[in-house]
Amino acid sequence: MMSFREKIHWVAFLSLILGFGWYFMSYPWAVANTRGGMLTAVWMLIPTTIIFLVPMVAGTVWFTIRTPKEANLKEDEREKTIHLKGTHAAYYPLVLGIWANIFALINGLSYGWSVNILMATLVLAELIRVGSQLYLYRRGY
């Protein structure tokens, strides 16, 4: 059976896919290279945050009510190591994303693209962080 933290990681992983999946599928890419493209990206962050947060909060509350004892447990040494390894893995997509953004700015792409590249970088890094932690939870370490 999964631990409380593993369940919460699954909720975070699926919420990320849901929230930012909607964002990247709905974003009007044709206007990305304009000021309007940037403002649209900023505006779309509001519903994206809601789509992300609602299942995240609901899932956390649900699992906390079902297993309150586990929810109150502190991270043990194995979980701390899994946490650190996941964060380490997420560093690489962050670096790649920053380089992609620098490349985009040097080549004259506007803020709309820049915002989207940064957002994609963050989402990818989070997916890799949470995904690798889920993998390590399943593998044992």
Partner 1 sequence: MAQAPFTNDIKTLRFLAGEMTQGDLGDKVGVTRQTIAAIEQGKYSPSLEVAFRIAHVFGKPLEEVFRWQAD
Q: Is residue 112 helix, strand or coil? A: helix
Q: What is the spatial distance between Cα 15 and Cα 21, in angstroms, rounded to a whole number?
A: 9
Q: Binding pattern to partner 1, positions 27-66, x when CB under 8 A?
A: ----------------------------------------
141 is a contact residue toward partner 1 (CB under 8 A): yes
Specify the DSSP class assigned to residue 33: T
98 is a contact residue toward partner 1 (CB under 8 A): no
User: Of 3 and 87, which CB lies nearer to partner 1 in the complex structure?
Assistant: 3
Going from the C-alpha of 112 to that of each of 16, 29, 52, 90, 102, the distances in angstroms are 21, 9, 22, 24, 14
Dihedral in degrees, nearest 10, Cα atoms 70, 76, 81, 83: 30
* Stretch in the footprint of partner 1 (CB under 8 A) among 21-29, 43-51, 112-120, 133-141: 133-141
Q: What is the spatial distance between Cα 18 and Cα 11, in angstroms, rounded to a whole number?
A: 10
Total residues at interface with partner 1 (CB under 8 A): 13
Taking CB under 8 A as the criterion, the residue among 54, 58, 73, 98 binding partner 1 is 73
72 is a contact residue toward partner 1 (CB under 8 A): no
User: Which residues bind to partner 1, rule: CB under 8 A?
Assistant: 2-3, 6, 70, 73, 76-79, 137, 139-141
